[in-house]
Amino acid sequence: MSDQHILSAYDRDLESIQAMIMKMGGQVEAAIRDAVRALETRDSDLAMKVRVGDRAIDELEQLINEQTARIIALRSPTAVDLRVVLSVMKISANLERCGDFAKNISKRTGVLLESPPIESTAATVRRMARQTELMLKDALDAYIHRDPQLAESVIDRDVDVDQMYNTLFRELLTHMMEDPRHITACMHLHFIAKNIERIGDRVTNIAEQTVYMVTGELPTEKRAKADHTATETIDFGA
Amino acid sequence: MSDATSGGAVPAAGSRRHGSILQLDARTKKRNAKEARFRAYGLGAIIIGLVFLVTLLTAIVSNGVGAFQQTFIEVPVYLDPQKLDKTGNRDAAEMAKVSTFGYTPLIQQGLLDLVDREGIDAPFEKAGDMKALISASAAAKVRDYVLANPDALGETRGFELLASSRVDGYLKGRVTQESVERDRNISAEHLQLADALREIGAIRKGFNSEFIFGADASESRAEQAGIGVAILGSFFMMLVVLAFSLPIGVAASIYLEEFAPKNRLTDLIEVNISNLAAVPSIVFGILGLAVFIEFAHLPQSAPLVGGLVLTLMTLPTIIISTRASLKAVPPSIRDAALGIGASKMQSVFHHVLPLAAPGILTGTIIGLAQALGETAPLLLIGMVGYIATNYPDGISSGFLDPNSAMPAQIYEWAKRADPAYYERAWGGIIILLVFLLTMNIIAIILRRRFERRW
Amino acid sequence: MNDMTLLERGVQTDDIKISARNVEVFYGDTHAIKNVNVEIQDKTVTAFIGPSGCGKSTFLRCINRMNDTIDICRVKGDILLDGEDIYDPKVDPVQLRAKVGMVFQKPNPFPKSIYDNVAYGPKIHGLARNKAELDEIVERALRRGAIWDEVKDRLHSPGTGLSGGQQQRLCIARAVATEPEVLLMDEPCSALDPIATAQVEELIDELRQDYSVVIVTHSMQQAARVSQKTAFFHLGTLVEYGATDRIFTSPEDPRTESYITGRIG
| Residue C188 CA neighbour count, 13 Å, CB half | 34
Residues B364 and B245 sit within 8 Å (Cβ to Cβ): yes
Please write the tens of the pLDDT for every residue from C56-68: 889 999 998 988 8
Please write the tens of the pLDDT for every residue from C34-47: 999 999 999 899 99
- In chain A, the residue whose alpha carbon lies closest to the alpha carbon of C203 is A7
C201–chain A nearest CA distance, Å: 7
**Pairwise pLDDT comparison (C22 vs A220), residue with the higher score:** C22
Residues of B near C (CB-CB distance < 8 A)? 261-262, 330, 332-343, 346, 350-351, 355, 452-454
Q: What is the pLDDT of residue B12?
A: 60
CB contact under 8 A, A5 and C201: no
Residues C113 and C168 sit within 8 Å (Cβ to Cβ): no
- In chain C, the residue whose alpha carbon lies closest to the alpha carbon of A7 is C202
Please write the tens of the pLDDT for every residue from A183-201: 888 889 999 999 999 999 9
- What is d(CA C5, CA A75) in angstroms, rounded to the nearest whole number? 18
* B203-207 own/partner pairs: CB under 8 Å, 24+ apart: B203/B71, B203/B72, B203/B73, B203/B74, B203/B163, B203/B167, B203/B171, B204/B71, B204/B72, B204/B74, B205/B69, B205/B70, B205/B71, B205/B72, B205/B171, B205/B172, B206/B69, B206/B70, B206/B71, B206/B72, B207/B68, B207/B69, B207/B70
Domains of chain B (ranges, CATH numbers): 70-207 (no CATH), 228-450 (1.10.3720.10)
- What is d(CA B59, CA B57) in angstroms, rounded to the nearest whole number? 5
Q: What is the pLDDT of residue B209?
A: 85
Instruction: Say which DSSP state B437 is in.
Output: H
Q: What is the pLDDT of residue C183?
A: 92
* B87-94 own/partner pairs: CB under 8 Å, 24+ apart: B90/B150, B90/B153, B92/B147, B92/B150
Please write the tens of the pLDDT for every residue from B173-183: 888 888 888 87
Q: Is the pLDDT of residue C4 over 70?
A: no
Domain C11-260 CATH assignment equals 3.40.309.10: no
Q: What is the pLDDT of residue A212?
A: 92
SS3 readout for B52-97? HHHHHHHHHHHHHHHHHEEEEEEEEEECCHHHHCCCCCCCHHHHHC
Please write the tens of the pLDDT for every residue from A99-146: 999 999 999 988 888 877 777 777 888 889 999 999 999 999 999 999
CB contact under 8 A, C245 and A74: yes
- What is d(CA C75, CA C67) in angstroms, rounded to the nearest whole number? 9
Tell me whether 0.90 is exceeded by the ipTM: no
CB contact under 8 A, B342 and C102: no
Residues A102 and A31 sit within 8 Å (Cβ to Cβ): yes
pLDDT, average across residues B2-20: 59
Residue C1 at interface with chain A, using a CB cutoff of 8 Å = yes
pLDDT, average across residues B263-279: 90
- What is d(CA B254, CA A235) in angstroms, rounded to the nearest whole number? 109
**Which chains form contacts with chain C, at 3 or more CB pairs under 8 Å?**
A, B
Q: Give A7's contacts in chain C (Cβ within 8 Å).
A: 198, 201-202, 205, 225-226
Residue C101 at interface with chain B, using a CB cutoff of 8 Å = yes
CB contact under 8 A, B340 and C175: yes
Please write the tens of the pLDDT for every residue from A49-71: 999 999 999 999 999 999 999 99
C125–chain B nearest CA distance, Å: 8
The fold of A8-227 is Methane Monooxygenase Hydroxylase; Chain G, domain 1 (1.20.58)
Residue B417: pLDDT band by 50, 70, 90 thresholds? Answer: confident
Residue B398: pLDDT band by 50, 70, 90 thresholds? Answer: confident
Q: Is the pLDDT of residue C13 over 70?
A: no
- In chain C, the residue whose alpha carbon lies closest to the alpha carbon of B339 is C102
- What is d(CA B78, CA B349) in angstroms, rounded to the nearest whole number? 70
Please write the tens of the pLDDT for every residue from C74-88: 888 999 999 899 998
Please write the tens of the pLDDT for every residue from B141-177: 888 888 888 888 888 888 888 888 888 888 888 888 8
Q: Is the pLDDT of residue C213 over 90?
A: yes
CB contact under 8 A, C108 and B336: yes
B343–chain C nearest CA distance, Å: 6
Q: Is the pLDDT of residue A238 over 50?
A: no
Buried/exposed B22-52: b ≥16 CB within 10 Å, e otherwise: eeeeeeeeeeeeeeeeeeeeeeeeeeeeeee
Of B262, B332, B341, the CB nearest to C121: B341
Please write the tens of the pLDDT for every residue from B369-396: 999 988 888 888 888 777 777 777 777 7
Q: Is C190 helix (H, G, I), strand (E, B) or coil?
A: coil
Interface of C with B in 64-83 (CB under 8 A): 64, 66, 69, 71
> Domain ranges in chain A?
8-227
CA B134, B139, B141, B145 torsion: positive or negative? positive
**In terms of C-beta density within 10 A (0-12 exposed, 13-18 middle, 19 or more buried), how is residue C169 classed?**
buried
Q: Is the pLDDT of residue C230 over 70?
A: yes
CB contact under 8 A, B339 and C106: no
CB contact under 8 A, A74 and C198: no
Task: Tell me how many degrees the CA angle B39-B41-B43 measures, rounded to the nearest 5.
Answer: 70
CB contact under 8 A, C8 and A9: yes
